[in-house]
A and B are shown apart, each in its own frame.
Chain A
Amino acid sequence: MKYAYYPGCSAESTARDMNLSTLAVAKSLGIELQEPPGWTCCGATAAHQTDRQLAVSLAAANLVKVRDMKLDMLVNCAACYNRMKAANHEVTNHAELRAALDQDYDGSVKVRHLIEVLLEDVGLPAIKQSFKRSLNGLKVACYYGCLLVRPPGVMKFDDAENPQSLDRLVTAMGGQSLDWPGKVECCGGGLSLSRTDVVVNLSESILDMAEQAGADCVVVSCPMCQINLDLRQADMAKKYQMPVVYLTQLLGLCLGYSAGELGFEKLMVPATNVLGKVQ
């Protein structure tokens, strides 16, 4: 199993822990990753809010690089995953957007999220066989956020209102995936600095739902969700102390890696309760 791995800009800064743990998990499960040479920013929210063609062209520049590698693109950042799939959709359906690209591209590169690769290509039985430890009944609120599942017609990732793929992985790890209403709510995304008030408000409602469901931690697969839910707890009236960990960090623990190898010390709210439970 070989893929062109698009790390995304956060992998080099705010989400180094996501990148570290992604590489560790891939190594253990026989997933070979190769970065597209000179990969560039997907454009994120700022590009599509500014200009439609800019957004499509920035993402497509990376898809062109992956097309030339003759591999599927594997993405773990939900935001990058979303922009890549949106660009494929735009160039396939709008000739004028395709015509104005920097290099011609037909929208044919398959963009896969790590969760899809884990469930569809590696498969739960093989993943379970590789586990050395269990989450031991850890109560996990699986938080998908917006960008993995919306817009459903473009993303075609799981059920857009009640997705189950993260829950299936958590259950396979021996965790208890909770039934809770916050799965696909919005954390405020890219408004973290420009409208901190909005992010604090939305993220607080999500943490509140997770706490009410009895969660030991929230699991995410998006660097923006992670930083909003984790870093912004310091700005909230109520002190939740709710660890917000990446899926790949939990998988890495079960695959036998140490907390240090998975970047656990980079979390703002320490995941001491999670680390204590995993055996």
Chain B
Amino acid sequence: MITIKKNKSGPGLKRAIKELCGVDLSVCFQCKKCSSGCAVAKLTKTRPSEVMRRLHLGAGAELLESDLIWTCASCGTCSARCPMGIDVAAVMDALRQLAIAKGVPAPAGNVPLFNRAFLKTVEKFGRTYELGMVAAYKLGTGKLMADTEKFPTMLKKGKLALLPPRGADTKTVKRIFAKTKGGKA
């Protein structure tokens, strides 16, 4: 049975999601095709169809603690198969954005920190700089040793660039970050 704690975030999340991604959830009739096809549902407590149902019923900020939000790999199978054309993957993006805005931590792993580290290098160099990103991410997680055994081979094979990328139009990219929420993420 689904228990809904109403009004933890005002009128529920449904409206905030509509505003963020334009998706109308009201046409969902719980066929559960999104959950059947979901690549990560075998690893999560919450499934996409349950998220949709909870939103429907007026769930509040407690839904932002769902483990699905930060396990979802944005593969888009849910959106591709929804018979009502609901962009479920866009709803996941919106839930992630709301979780970040409200400071709700990810229950496992640290995707928000990774995304910040990734975008920081893009903001600075105009392109991704993997070594810089990995360093920032590892410092943030404190797990300095994860994957380090792979780095010497990757460097030798030229799969990691030592120096930051050059030649990108950084002016435009910096302006875009300043104008959008990317700069505040």
Q: How far is the CB of B109 from chain A (nearest CB, A)?
A: 4
**Could you pull out 28 A-B pairs where Cβ atoms are within 8 angstroms?**
A9-B165, A14-B160, A38-B167, A39-B168, A40-B126, A40-B168, A44-B118, A46-B118, A47-B122, A49-B74, A50-B96, A52-B21, A54-B180, A61-B172, A100-B179, A102-B176, A150-B76, A151-B76, A186-B39, A186-B77, A188-B73, A190-B114, A191-B73, A193-B134, A193-B137, A193-B147, A198-B43, A202-B39
Determine the chain A residues whose CB is within 8 A of the CB of B168 once the complex forms: 38-41
Cβ contact within 8 Å between A266 and B76: no
Q: How far is the CB of A259 from chain B (nearest CB, A)?
A: 14
Q: How far is the CB of B164 from chain A (nearest CB, A)?
A: 10
Determine the chain A residues whose CB is within 8 A of the CB of B57 once the complex forms: none
Cβ contact within 8 Å between A102 and B179: yes
Instruction: Given A9-B165, A51-B185, A195-B71, check contact A266 B158 (CB 8 Å).
Output: yes
Asked if A189 lies at the interface with its beta carbon under 8 angstroms from chain B, I say: yes
Q: How far is the CB of B143 from chain A (nearest CB, A)?
A: 10
Asked if A45 lies at the interface with its beta carbon under 8 angstroms from chain B, I say: yes
> In the bound complex, what is the Cα–Cα distance between A202 and B172 (angstroms)?
37
* Chain B residue with Cβ nearest A146: B75
How many positions in chain A have a CB within 8 Å of any CB in the partner chain? 59
Determine the chain B residues whose CB is within 8 A of the CB of A37 once the complex forms: 169
> In the bound complex, what is the Cα–Cα distance between A100 and B175 (angstroms)?
12
Dominant secondary structure of chain A at its interface with chain B: helix
Q: How far is the CB of A136 from chain B (nearest CB, A)?
A: 27
Other-chain residue from B22, B79, B96 in contact with A94 (beta carbon distance below 8 A): B22
Asked if B119 lies at the interface with its beta carbon under 8 angstroms from chain A, I say: yes
Cβ contact within 8 Å between B73 and A39: no
* Chain B residue with Cβ nearest A97: B22
- State the 6 A-B residue pairs at the shortest beta-carbon distance, nearest first: A38-B169, A186-B75, A194-B114, A54-B182, A150-B76, A9-B128
Cβ contact within 8 Å between A160 and B80: yes
> In the bound complex, what is the Cα–Cα distance between A195 and B40 (angstroms)?
11
| Chain B interface (Cβ < 8 Å from any Cβ of A) | 20-22, 39-40, 42-43, 70-71, 73-77, 79-80, 87, 89, 93, 96-97, 100, 108-111, 113-115, 118-119, 122, 126-128, 130, 134, 137, 146-147, 150, 153-154, 157-161, 165, 167-170, 172-173, 175-177, 179-182, 185
B-contact 0/1 string along A36-68, CB 8 Å cutoff:
011111011111111111100110010001000
Give residues of chain A (104-151) contacting chain B, Cβ–Cβ below 8 Å. 146-147, 149-151
Q: How far is the CB of B165 from chain A (nearest CB, A)?
A: 6
Cβ contact within 8 Å between A195 and B70: yes
Cβ contact within 8 Å between B176 and A51: no
> In the bound complex, what is the Cα–Cα distance between A52 and B165 (angstroms)?
25
Cβ contact within 8 Å between A268 and B153: yes
Cβ contact within 8 Å between B176 and A202: no
Determine the chain B residues whose CB is within 8 A of the CB of A194 once the complex forms: 109-111, 113-115, 137
> In the bound complex, what is the Cα–Cα distance between A197 and B42 (angstroms)?
13
Central interface residue in B89, B108, B146, B158, by most chain A CB within 10 Å: B158
Other-chain residue from A12, A45, A58, A65 in contact with B176 (beta carbon distance below 8 A): A58
* Chain A residue with Cβ nearest B128: A9
> In the bound complex, what is the Cα–Cα distance between A59 and B167 (angstroms)?
17
> In the bound complex, what is the Cα–Cα distance between A193 and B71 (angstroms)?
12
